[in-house]
Structure 1
Amino acid sequence: MRKQMISILTALALFVGGYASLAGIGGTSTVEAAQAVSSFKDVPASHWASSAIYSAVEKGYFKGYADGTFKPGLPVTKAEMASILARLNDQPELPTAEPNHFTDVPEWAKNGVSTAIAKGFIHPSSYKDKLGAQAALERGEMAEWLTQGLSVVDSDYGQALSDVTNTVIPAKEYFTGKLADSQKNAVAVALGTGLMSVANDKTFGVNRTTTRAEVAVLLSRYASVAKTKPADLQGLNELRQVGLTGTNLGVIAPRYQKPGPEKFSESYDYSKITGDFSKIRNQELVTVTNYADLKIKNWIVVNPYVEGNARSIYYDIFVEEKNKPLRGAYYSFSEFDISIKKSMTQLQGGSLINSPTINTLTSPSTSAFRDYGAKHINDFLGPKGVFTVRNPSYWGSGLLHFDKELRPGIFITVKDGTIYRVIPN
């Protein structure tokens, strides 16, 4: 009987080490945590997540296994992650939380799941009766949980989740149409805050599982982002502005503004002038030539002269380090919807808008642009540069100039008479 009891206790210890104590049940002192991490057989000091794992163990979010390992590559289940999130002491709770109606949560995780709901990470209304508690948590759902948690910390993060509905998301799945609408907003905010990033293959990996090591890193990032005001995150600001207006111009090139009435003659109808790109986004434009009807879906501006966090969140998609435009220009990338009336060549398409900035002639030439899966003009061209489809949608590449000798102003007219006019002030 005694041997049987010891066997049961040993099995329970393994279970607690791998599951229940993922949420910190039982507690761990700082000294014990340091000793545990330093002795993990599979977490050498050179491990990419060693410091995050140390921190997570120190805070009681994780424990190791009885065999002296941490198992950093082991996937984390939804029940485990909910229990971990429940242990975030700095996370506020909602005034009124949704009821926990899940029927598939194991007994050891019920309190953790209920607390994660109370803290806003999990919205039961987004599920039916089952959480899928024992299934491995995928990155798309992880993005949802973490960004929902941020919206409880600061309501402006919740507003950001709404603002990015129509944004351009710097992940391959967005450009290839493989990012579900239900997860677009969360993925955008996760990327914009720096909580999560794309892999080397440029994918966000919404269906990839999340490992224990990755969760340790995410917890550290979450704590940092939760202490940061959304307005202080340039990448998030870009995604929000593109979502709301169609361009990140105001973030990357704020000198470009609508000119005042003094720039026009008294006879000019200044009421037609707007500096709000949303007023011309997805509207039929007046074109120089009559080969096709044209709309601009999005306009992305990239400053190639800055480093680190000052870089546009779209930098890696469109720009290569070795290339710098002449005379201090910024890069300009526009996404076009074109409706060809009869037939049109590439050169004829390039004549639709007479602007070095909003340029329909060429697409970005970087290898990264192709890796992200964004649409290139060459995808729609056949022999002799003739468009093979009547309704191509692709990204054009131009330059945003500040030098007055190089036509720095942007002048676009909508068929309803609205004029988008901005200049560098």
Structure 2
Amino acid sequence: MDFAASPRAAEYHGKVADFIAKEIEPVEEEYLRTLRELDDPWVVLPVIEELKAKAREQGLWNFFLPKTYSEATGQGVGLGNVEYAPLAELMGRHVIGSEVFNCNAPDTGNAEVLVHYGSEAQQRQWLDPLLAGEIRSAFCMTEPEVASSDATNMAATVVPDGEDVIVNGHKWFSTGIGHPNCKFVIFMGLTDPEAHRHARHTMVIVPVGAPGMKVERMLEVFGYHDEPYGHGEVSFDNVRVPRENVIADLGKGFEIAQGRLGPGRIHHCMRTIGLAERALEIGIRRAMERTAFGKPLVNLGGNRERIARARIAINQARLQVLHTAWLLDTEGALGALSELSQIKASVPSMAYEVIDMAIQLHGAGGLTNDFPLAGALAGARSLRLADGPDEVHLGVVSRIELAQYKTLDR
């Protein structure tokens, strides 16, 4: 296996890095300050649309799209997972990075669902404007009343009724629902409780604002609302949508979910590695500039060893994710099943430890919004639950590992 960037991927890596340095880094701090000072921060500031327009004009757009789809449609740039992963890492260093290049979650995952499973009409109505950066989306799966770590517990329903389906349920942590340009959600619910446990559920497109759909509140995560995207609690009370909004077919929800999760975990993990890299960089600069007891902080209290261990942990995580991306490219999701769960369990924990160390190097200031570390810590900690908690992923890894021994004599 060779993780060296192809000439094309290296070219895009250089362009993205240059764009971030020249266009994003100089404005991000002011952008965040301005947003936080607004009475209503659930808005898109003009600078975001300006940056998006510049990125798209330079062809730095929709990097995440599957290579086959890009080659067939001319959308995106046609990179594999190994090629895209370093770009996701660059974007993950900055809060607004992924949005500027139209590569932010959950839109990337929703777009891939529509690419692989959406009808032509669904693609024209919802996918095309999503890929153009004109609208945003959300994904409604997790429910407050049940243990959503076991998706078969899902109580929300998608029930066919003539030429329509009726959607009922209570969802929360629906990321992206607070965005003013969020125009649709992909909702997953129970259709046939008597079917095989992996053929009971359905995914359906629900337009935001449909009668009976209500955003009850936006949820805080360690005091952060993550505006203007946010994580919302959403109720669906007899929401009626056309049958043609069903993705693939009734009962295909689990199949679609598994197809959605593979690349998404690569994207999540590489963005998180970028976040850890930036935290380490910020921490080292602070430790070299500040002195205590007559010495730079970097020379006190075992900080050099902590920095070394952080570098080792980040590099290990990156190689593990690149290996998983390579497996996904060469063998598909089933061939990388254990590895996808491994990185989802290991990378957020690594990032949390690195960010926590950087906060410690900043002292009390690291806990404030004067630095980007507190928000980064909240994001890294959240990922230990998002897209499946650690325990579920560790269970997958152990099950696959132990299966190798089941034929041994006891």
Instruction: Give the TM-score range, shorter chain.
Output: under 0.3
**So what's the TM-score if we normalise by structure 1?**
0.23
Q: Which has the higher helix share?
A: 2
Where relative contact order (Cα < 8 A, 6+ residues apart) is larger, the structure is 2
Bigger-Rg structure (1/2): 1
Q: Which has the higher strand share?
A: 2
